[in-house]
């Protein structure tokens, strides 16, 4: 393990400020895990973000201090962050908007900035130009950009990053207690309406980028199967009403479950997990499915192929026939499902652990602090 940045004798430990934006499932869980690991290794950690992130992830329970960024304007949030960063050894922002906020707050201060890009922002038209400008500002301001997938690292370099690196971003492996209890599994299936029919699970925000349209197109293709598979979708988003209207109008075997906090339990009840996104870095659903031994059908986009390898069925994005075909073939081939489940669990054994992630971040902090001390 890399050394923890050690202050001179008698000096306080390194103060690392973590900046979180909306707290998506991936970045929120990561910052919570990272904060706990850093505190356990003797660092002082302050997490800056919206109150809903503290309520959702409990950073203070992990030993970190929490500073809310609830101002109504970006300037107000930057001022709050600037106050929270007084005396900090470094600031580590997570996400593009958080990186831009940190760049504003640290202007004129000699505090190094690290930014982790967990995902990318999809935009079209005039907004795409604004996003590129934001990416350039963040990439060129940060001392180091860490990318959760190889294509994010290349994107940061293309935007002018001086130092961009691939970084392990682990999320806690889900507990498997539910999986071992067949009674709970059957109860969950009964509650979802899938006692004697295959159960498919998708998780994500209900919006175009999640591939909801192609997913419903695929559901239309497998509704002729007997027994008819049921697709349940956990998540909320701006397209919910539109999707529900289409489900009702076309009689699709799909249930929108809304926001759920029991995804591991849903996975334990599912026969197949489905990821239909336009782009993903390190999909939380993909990680949880492989950990749980649930066969996964996913779009071959972003960091998904390098994450899952041959432990999932990969299909092109926006191809409902390929997506539906992969699901149908898996439902008809229990041997293949068992093999995929075994391959998934074997694949997860090679993924970075939470300790690996913390150790890597500590090594980056150590390098950055030493560099700034020599300047």
- C-alpha 172: how far from chain center: 12
> In the structure encoding, which two tokens stand for residue 24, read together?
């998506």
Mean pLDDT of 359-371: 95
Q: Domains, the chain, ranges and CATH?
A: 15-170+353-370 (3.40.50.2000), 182-349 (3.40.50.2000)
227 preceded by a cis bond (ω within 30 of 0): yes
Two tokens, residue 199: 């159960």
- For residue 122 the two structure tokens come to 């999809």
Q: Are 237 and 206 in contact (CB under 8 A)?
A: yes
pLDDT on residue 234: 97
The predicted-structure confidence for 306-349, as pLDDT tens digits, reads as follows 999 999 999 999 999 999 999 999 999 999 999 999 999 999 99
Residue 121 has pLDDT above 90, yes or no: no
Give the DSSP letter string of 165-192: EE-----PPPP-TTTT-HHHHHHHHHHH
Beta-bridge partners for 315? 299
Distances (CA, A) of 6 to 14, 89, 302, 372: 7, 11, 37, 14
The answer on pLDDT for 229 being more than 60 is yes
From its phi and psi, is residue 246 left (phi > 0), alpha (psi between -120 and 50) or beta? Answer: alpha
CA–CA distances in Å: residue 243 to residues 70, 142, 194, 211, 254: 32, 40, 21, 12, 10
Percent of the chain surpassing pLDDT 70: 92
Query: Per-residue pLDDT tens for 3-58?
Result: 444 444 444 589 999 999 865 567 888 999 999 999 999 999 999 999 989 998 99
Mean pLDDT of 238-249: 98
Give the pLDDT of residue 186.
87
CA angle 287, 302, 262 (to 5 degrees): 30
Q: Identify whether the C-beta of residue 93 lies closer than 8 Å to the C-beta of residue 134.
A: no
Q: Which of 255, 258, 298 is nearest to 274 (CA)?
A: 298
Contact between 186 and 161 under an 8 Å Cβ cutoff? The reply is no
Chain center to CA of 250: 32
The per-residue pLDDT for 1 is 43
pLDDT at 271: 97
How far is 283 from 260, CA to CA, in rounded Å? 17
């Amino acid at each position: 393990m890399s050394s923890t940045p050690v202050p001179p004798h008698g000096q306080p430990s390194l103060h690392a400020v973590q900046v979180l934006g909306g707290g998506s499932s991936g970045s929120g869980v990561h910052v919570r895990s990272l904060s706990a690991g850093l505190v356990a290794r003797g660092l002082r950690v302050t997490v800056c973000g919206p109150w809903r992130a503290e309520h959702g992830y409990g950073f203070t329970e992990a030993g970190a201090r929490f500073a809310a960024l609830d101002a109504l304007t970006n300037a107000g949030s930057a001022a709050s962050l600037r106050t929270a960063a007084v005396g900090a050894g470094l600031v580590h922002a997570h996400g593009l908007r958080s990186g831009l906020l940190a760049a504003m707050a640290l202007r004129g201060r000699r505090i190094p900035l690290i930014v982790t890009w967990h995902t990318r922002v999809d935009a079209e038209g005039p907004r795409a130009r604004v996003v590129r400008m934001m990416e350039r500002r963040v990439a060129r301001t940060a001392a180091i950009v860490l990318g959760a997938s190889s294509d994010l690292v290349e994107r940061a370099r293309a935007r002018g990053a001086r130092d961009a690196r691939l970084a392990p971003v682990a999320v806690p492996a889900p507990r498997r207690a539910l999986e071992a209890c067949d009674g709970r599994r059957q109860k969950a299936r009964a509650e979802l309406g899938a006692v004697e029919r295959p159960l498919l699970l998708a998780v994500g925000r209900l919006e175009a980028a999640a591939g909801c349209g192609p997913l419903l197109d695929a559901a239309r293709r497998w509704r002729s199967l007997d027994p008819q598979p049921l697709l349940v979708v956990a998540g909320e988003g701006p397209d919910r009403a539109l999707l529900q209207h289409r489900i009702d109008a076309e009689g699709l075997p799909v249930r929108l479950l809304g926001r759920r906090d029991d995804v591991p339990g849903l996975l334990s009840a599912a026969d197949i997990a489905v990821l239909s996104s336009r782009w993903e870095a390190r999909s939380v659903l993909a990680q949880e499915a492989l950990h749980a031994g649930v066969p996964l059908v996913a779009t071959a986009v972003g960091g998904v192929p390098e994450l899952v390898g041959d432990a999932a069925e990969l299909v092109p994005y926006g191809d409902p026939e390929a997506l539906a075909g992969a699901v149908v073939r898996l439902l008809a081939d229990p041997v293949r499902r068992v093999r995929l489940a075994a391959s998934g669990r074997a694949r997860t054994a090679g993924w970075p652990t939470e300790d690996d992630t913390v150790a890597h971040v500590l090594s980056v902090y150590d390098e950055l602090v030493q560099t700034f001390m020599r300047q």
